[in-house]
Structure 1
C-alpha cells in the first residue's frame, strides 16, 4: 500500500507545481491588450478582410515520408547489427515483409509525386 501513497503524493505535488506555475504567471505577467496585439497574425502575413478562409495544408505528405524513412531506419539498423549472429531464415522473411511494406509506402509517395524536386 505504501507504493500507492507515494504515487498519490507525486501526483498531488505535480498538480500543485503546475497550478502554482499557472497562478504565478497570471499574477506576474503584464497584461496590456492593444488592438495590434489582438489582431490575428499568421506566418508573417497580415490578415486581409474579415472572413475566414481555409487553405490546403500539405504537411501530411511530409509527415508520411518522415514516417516511412524514420521507421525504416529505426528497425533496419538494429536488425543489421544483430545480423552478425545467426538469426535464421525466419528473420530474413520477416525483414523482407517489413521492407516490402515500406516499399509500398514509398511507391505510393512516388505515384503521388511527393519525391519530385520541382
Structure 2
C-alpha cells in the first residue's frame, strides 16, 4: 500500500494558513474599498512627500553619483555578507582544510580584493561629493 495519501496530509496546515492569509488580505482590501470615501479632490491628488510641498518636475534627472554610491553600497554590503559564513566556521577551518592558517590567508586575500576595489573608487573620486564633476 502506498504512503502517498498520508504525505499530502502533512501539508494541510500550511494550505489552511495560506488560505486564511489570502482570505484576510482580500477581505480587508475589499472592506476598505467598500467603507472608504471615494471623493477625489485637488488636495488628495497632489503629491505628498514628507510634509514638504512638491517643487519642480518629478521626472528630474539625478546625478550619476547617486546611482554609483547606491551600487557601491550594495556591492560592499554583499561583500560583508560573504565574510559572515567564514567568521562562523573560522574555528572549524583547520579540521576542514587541514591547515591552521589557510582560513586566515584566505580571508586576507578576500579583504585584499575588497580593499583594492575600495581604493580604486576612492582615487577615482566617486566618494567625493564636494567637487561638482568627478572623472568617472
TM-score w.r.t. structure 2 length? Answer: 0.59
| CA displacement at 1:70 relative to structure 2 | 7.3
Write out per-residue CA displacement over residues 81-111 of structure 1, whole angstroms, 9 at most, x where no aligned residue. Answer: 956x884221012201220232133123313
Partner of 1:15: 22
Unaligned segments of structure 1, at least 5 residues: none
* Contact map agreement 1:109 1:115 (CA 8 A) in 2: yes
1:84-99 equivalence runs, <5 A = 87=94, 88-99=100-111
CA RMSD of aligned residues (A): 3.5
Moved over 4 A (4+): 80-83
Question: Whole-Å Cα distance in 1 between the matches of residues 123 and 48 of structure 2?
Answer: 36
Does 27-36 or 90-99 show the bigger shift? Answer: 27-36
Paired residue total: 115
Structure whose CA Rg is larger? 2
Q: Which has the higher contact order (CA 8 A, sep 6+)?
A: 1
Unaligned segments of structure 2, at least 5 residues: 1-7, 95-99, 131-136
